[in-house]
Structure 1
Amino acid sequence: MTSAALRMHAHRLGWLASMLALFCSTAAQAWGPAAHRIVAQLAEGQLQADARVKVRQLLTLSDARHLSDVANWADDLREDPDQREFARATARLHYVNFADSACRFEADRICANGQCVVAAIDHYAAILADSSRPLAERAEALRFVVHFVGDVHQPLHAGYRPDRGGNQYQVRIDGKGSNLHSVWDSRVTASARLGWSRHAERLARMAPLADASEDPVAWARQSCRLTRDAGIYPDSRNIDSAYLERMRPIAERQMRLAGKRLANVLNRALD
Structure 2
Amino acid sequence: MSRLLLLLAALIGLASPAQAYWEYGHETVAAIAYRNVTPEVRAAINKMLAQQALLETPTCPARTIEQASVWADCVKTLGPRFSYAYNWHYQNVSVCKDFTLKGNCPDGNCVSAQIERDMKLLKDKSVPVRERVMALVFLVHFVGDLHQPLHAGDRSDLGGNKALSTYGDYSTAKLNLHSIWDGLLAERAISTQPPLVRLYTAQERAAVQGGSVEDWSRESWQVARDVVYGTAYGDPCGPVPQQAKLDNAAIARLIEPAREQVMKGGLRLARLLNEALA
Secondary structure of 2:259's aligned partner: helix
Q: Among residues 246, 250, 262, which one is paired with 1:255 in the alignment?
A: 262
Q: Among residues 94, 97, 105, which one is paired with 2:89 in the alignment?
A: 94
State the one-letter code of the partner of 1:78. K
CA contact (8 A) 1:51 1:270 kept: yes
CA contact (8 A) 2:35 2:198 kept: no
Q: Among residues 204, 211, 220, which one is paired with 1:223 in the alignment?
A: 220
C-alpha distance in 2 between matches for 1:106 and 1:22? 36
Provide, for residues 4-34 of structure 1, a one-character-per-residue CA deviation record: whole Å limited to 9, x for no partner: xxxxxxxxxxxxxxxx9999448856x8321
C-alpha distance in 2 between matches for 1:112 and 1:217? 15
CA contact (8 A) 2:91 2:104 kept: yes
State whether structure 2 residue 144 is matched by structure 1 residue 144. no
CA contact (8 A) 1:98 1:160 kept: yes
Secondary structure of 2:204's aligned partner: coil
What corresponds to 1:47 in structure 2? 37
What corresponds to 1:116 in structure 2? 110
- In structure 2, the CA distance between the partners of 1:24 and 1:251, relative to structure 1 (3 Å rule), is closer
Q: Among residues 58, 74, 77, which one is paired with 1:76 in the alignment?
A: 74
The unaligned stretches of length 5 or more in structure 2 are: 11-20, 53-60, 234-242
C-alpha distance in 2 between matches for 1:50 and 1:103? 41
What corresponds to 2:172 in structure 1? 176
RMSD of aligned Cα (Å): 3.0
- In structure 2, the CA distance between the partners of 1:246 and 1:100, relative to structure 1 (3 Å rule), is closer
Secondary structure of 1:71's aligned partner: helix
State whether structure 2 residue 207 is matched by structure 1 residue 213. no
Q: Among residues 150, 160, 176, which one is paired with 1:156 in the alignment?
A: 150
Q: How many correspondences in the alignment?
A: 246
Hey, which bits of structure 1, 4+ residues long, moved more than 6 A?
A: 20-23
State whether structure 2 residue 235 is matched by structure 1 residue 241. no
CA contact (8 A) 1:100 1:161 kept: yes
Provide, for residues 57-104 of structure 1, a one-character-per-residue CA deviation record: whole Å limited to 9, x for no partner: 11112264531121111111122xxx2214421111101121453442
Secondary structure of 2:191's aligned partner: coil
Normalising to structure 1: TM-score of the pair? 0.80
Between the aligned residues of both structures, percent identity stands at 31
Deviation at 1:51, TM superposition (A): 1.2
What corresponds to 2:184 in structure 1? 187
* Within-5 A mapping of 1:57-76: 57-62=47-52, 64-76=62-74
State the one-letter code of the partner of 2:72. A
- In structure 2, the CA distance between the partners of 1:250 and 1:131, relative to structure 1 (3 Å rule), is same
C-alpha distance in 1 between matches for 2:208 and 2:25? 20
Normalising to structure 2: TM-score of the pair? 0.78
State the one-letter code of the partner of 1:145. L
Deviation at 1:211, TM superposition (A): 2.3
- In structure 2, the CA distance between the partners of 1:99 and 1:237, relative to structure 1 (3 Å rule), is closer
The unaligned stretches of length 5 or more in structure 1 are: 1-19
What corresponds to 1:11 in structure 2? none
What corresponds to 2:124 in structure 1? 130
- In structure 2, the CA distance between the partners of 1:240 and 1:128, relative to structure 1 (3 Å rule), is same
State the one-letter code of the partner of 2:137. R
Deviation at 1:180, TM superposition (A): 0.5
Provide, for residues 40-63 of structure 1, a one-character-per-residue CA deviation record: whole Å limited to 9, x for no partner: 000001111221111101111226
